Structure 1
Amino acid sequence: MLKEQLNEVEQNIQQACDKVSRSREDVTLIAVSKTKPISVLQEAYNLGVRVFGENKVQELTEKYEALPKDIHWHMIGHLQTNKVKYIIDKVDLIHSVDSMKLAETIEKEAAKKNLIANILVEVNVAEEESKFGLKMEEVIPFIEKISVFPHIRVCGLMTIAPFVENSEENREIFTNLRKLSVDINAKNIDNVNVSILSMGMTNDYAVAIEEGATMVRVGTGIFGARNYNI
């Protein structure tokens, strides 16, 4: 079942790329593996998946220890400052930076490990009260402030679009995030190159790709429904 679902997602990504004349290599598929047991992740790994996204620090660290070391781990969930130290040297990318306090903590913990943390700034494009993230107008001032941190590299933007039945309803959100990335790059801020757009999930990733997503976060589409009872 996992193999078939993974193949279907791959086909959908390829079709979306073809539709707008993009290369498949331009889009990274992040397998969102939250709540899934290690055995299922190992099965996905055996099928060629190397990029996994986790929402919770404890789950990420446990899976990091148990699974092959050539996996690229992404922290995609809301990150509490007191948990940063546990994942700072384990993840390739933190998708969910949305406050100065969190950025300062990442800087401090990255400095301790003498590494540079790659981050995305989370943007609440739709301004949903239930979601984390900065408002659109807050993003450039925020990036200008954190661009001086020597142990942080701002690599792009991330958004979680509303859950909708018709993915076309989210097209404008993805378009707006892409436009914002263009505006940021036009400012030529030192230490900032917004090349990553992490947007699109199981129900809207094809539209996100058409609008410029470079990373899509797909969980249910690959692994099936989540199990919240574990």
Structure 2
Amino acid sequence: MVAATDIGQRLRGIEARLAAACARAGRRRAEVTLIGASKMQPVAALRQAWDAGLRTFGENRVQEALAKARELDAAIDWHLLGPLQSNKARRAAELFSTIHSLDRVAIVEAVDRAAVRLGVVRRGFLEVNLGAEDTKHGFSASGLLDALSRLPDLAGLELVGLMAIPPPTADPRAARPWFRMLRELRDQVSRLAPPRGWSGALSMGMSGDFEIAVEEGATHVRVGTSLFGPRPEPAAGDPA
């Protein structure tokens, strides 16, 4: 685990890079939410990031997040970054304010039902598989508008925007066309079929390319390795 002083220094460095990227794009720093991608990181590391000023954390697995939340400040804003199974929709709606991985109509409906039963309203991003990769989930870019037309009226879930992870590449600059593609798809949805709660938010950009994502309009970026260091190896019996 990275030392507490190092996490604080890393966070300040990331903030400086975010501010510079916003300035280049003519944007305000307040327009971008920094999410600490804390998958498999120990509770102590999250606590150190919180003490350094980070307020939003992203987890990939519901059970892992629930376990961490029991030990951490109740004011943390939890976001779900990883895929969600329908049978965990209720637990997800209990903890996460925002779900970035709504990858099919059925899971949108499941989260909405769970939120209604809990008497809460959650926010969500529709995940788009821009590169049509077999290893990734998400709506196809060409089928997104049709999927939106098939959604029922949602009472417990606000679909605020789109999320995508570009195909892997050694050169972060190669992600720019994919980020631009997601922004253009967002603009199309905004014009033709904005769902309830739509704000045109864009969840895109990670440790290696978040500055480029901000230049292309990202409103939410997830930074893990650059903040916490490499992920620890999973232990046997880790919660799914």
* TM-score normalised by structure 2 residue count: 0.92
* Aligned position for 2:105: 100
Whole-angstrom distance in 1 between the partners of 2:152 and 2:56: 26
Give the partner amino acid of 1:116: V
* Aligned position for 1:226: 231
What's the Cα RMSD here? 1.3
* Aligned position for 1:20: 25
> Percent identity between the aligned chains?
33
* Aligned position for 1:168: 173
Whole-angstrom distance in 2 between the partners of 1:190 and 1:55: 25
Q: Deviations for 1:58-107, whole angstroms, at most 9, x for unmatched residues?
A: 11111112111111000010111111111212111000001122112112
How far has the Cα of 1:112 moved from its partner? 1.1
Q: Deviations for 1:129-153, whole angstroms, at most 9, x for unmatched residues?
A: 1111111011112223225122221
Give the partner amino acid of 1:16: A
Whole-angstrom distance in 2 between the partners of 1:190 and 1:52: 26
- For the Cα contact (< 8 Å) 1:120–1:158, is it kept in 2? yes
- For the Cα contact (< 8 Å) 1:155–1:194, is it kept in 2? yes
Give the partner amino acid of 1:163: P
How far has the Cα of 1:167 moved from its partner? 0.9
* Aligned position for 1:76: 81
- For the Cα contact (< 8 Å) 2:187–2:200, is it kept in 1? no
Secondary structure (helix, strand or coil) at the match of 2:34 reads: strand
Choose the corresponding residue for 2:163, options 154, 158, 168.
158
Secondary structure (helix, strand or coil) at the match of 2:150 reads: helix
Give the partner amino acid of 1:54: E
How far has the Cα of 1:195 moved from its partner? 2.4
| Deviates further, 192-201 or 206-215 | 192-201
* Aligned position for 1:207: 212
State the number of aligned residues.
Answer: 230
How far has the Cα of 1:188 moved from its partner? 5.0
Whole-angstrom distance in 2 between the partners of 1:147 and 1:119: 15
Whole-angstrom distance in 1 between the partners of 2:45 and 2:170: 28
Give the partner amino acid of 2:180: T
Whole-angstrom distance in 2 between the partners of 1:54 and 1:192: 23
* Aligned position for 2:115: 110
* Aligned position for 1:55: 60
* Aligned position for 1:31: 36
